[in-house]
Amino acid sequence: TPEAVLRRAVGGAWAEHLAALARGHDPRPVCPRREEKSIGAEVTFPEDVPRGERLDAAVLALADKAAHRMRVAGFASHTVAVKVRTADFTTISRSRTLAGATNLTKTIAEAARDLVAAVDLRGMPVRLVGVRLEQLVSPERMTIQPTLDGHDVADAERQAQEAGDAIRGRFGPRALRPASLLGDATGFPS
């Protein structure tokens, strides 16, 4: 758009600024790092998927992938959200705030599966499913529930996941995953 047209539409100062931006001139510094608001994963299936084992496996794989990304980024999550798109392209979102922040795959996957199971699909198969982790906090702010003998209830699981994350970091994302996904029942790459 010629600068004269911009001047008439938005005034002189804005016209000059917009024209400069259009030429690629912007004095503002580039800030490539931004604060993470959520971390998630989703998949669009190559064909519509009915409720059942394949959908459950996809939710588990997505929860595992999102939880791994979150741990690597150094976060825990207070809220698990899911998105389900049916064959008629109706999109339904649900979320659940957990009792405390977590970064454990098992806890996240259980919440995600419950949320997807509660969605009324009206008999429609699913085209897309996603798992998103929201209300991110640093792991120091996670709620740790000790037992009467002073041990962290989820300590062994947390240690196992940290070891698993190290294995994935060294050998790739498919090097380690939940056993129920070894047959690749999801039909999509992780």
171-188 per-position pLDDT tens digit = 887 777 777 777 654 445
Q: Is the pLDDT of residue 148 over 90?
A: no
Other Cβ atoms closer than 10 A to 116: 24
Read off the pLDDT of each residue in 101-112 and give the average, rounded to a whole number: 93
Q: Give the model's pLDDT for residue 187.
A: 46
Tokens of 183: 């047959």
- Answer for the pair 129, 62: CB distance below 8 angstroms, yes or no: yes
Alpha helices in 40-92 (DSSP H): 53-73
Query: Helix 155-171 and helix 53-73: axis angle, to 10°?
Result: 90
Distance CA 131, CA 55 (A): 12
Closest residue by Cα to residue 176 from 187, 164, 163: 164
Q: How far apart are the first and last CA of the chain?
A: 45
Distance CA 178, CA 98 (A): 22
For the segment 114-134, what is each residue's pLDDT rounded down to a tens digit? 999 999 999 999 999 999 999
Tokens of 85: 């798109």
pLDDT class for 190, splitting at 50, 70, 90?
A: very low
The reported pTM is 0.71
- Answer for the pair 65, 41: CB distance below 8 angstroms, yes or no: yes
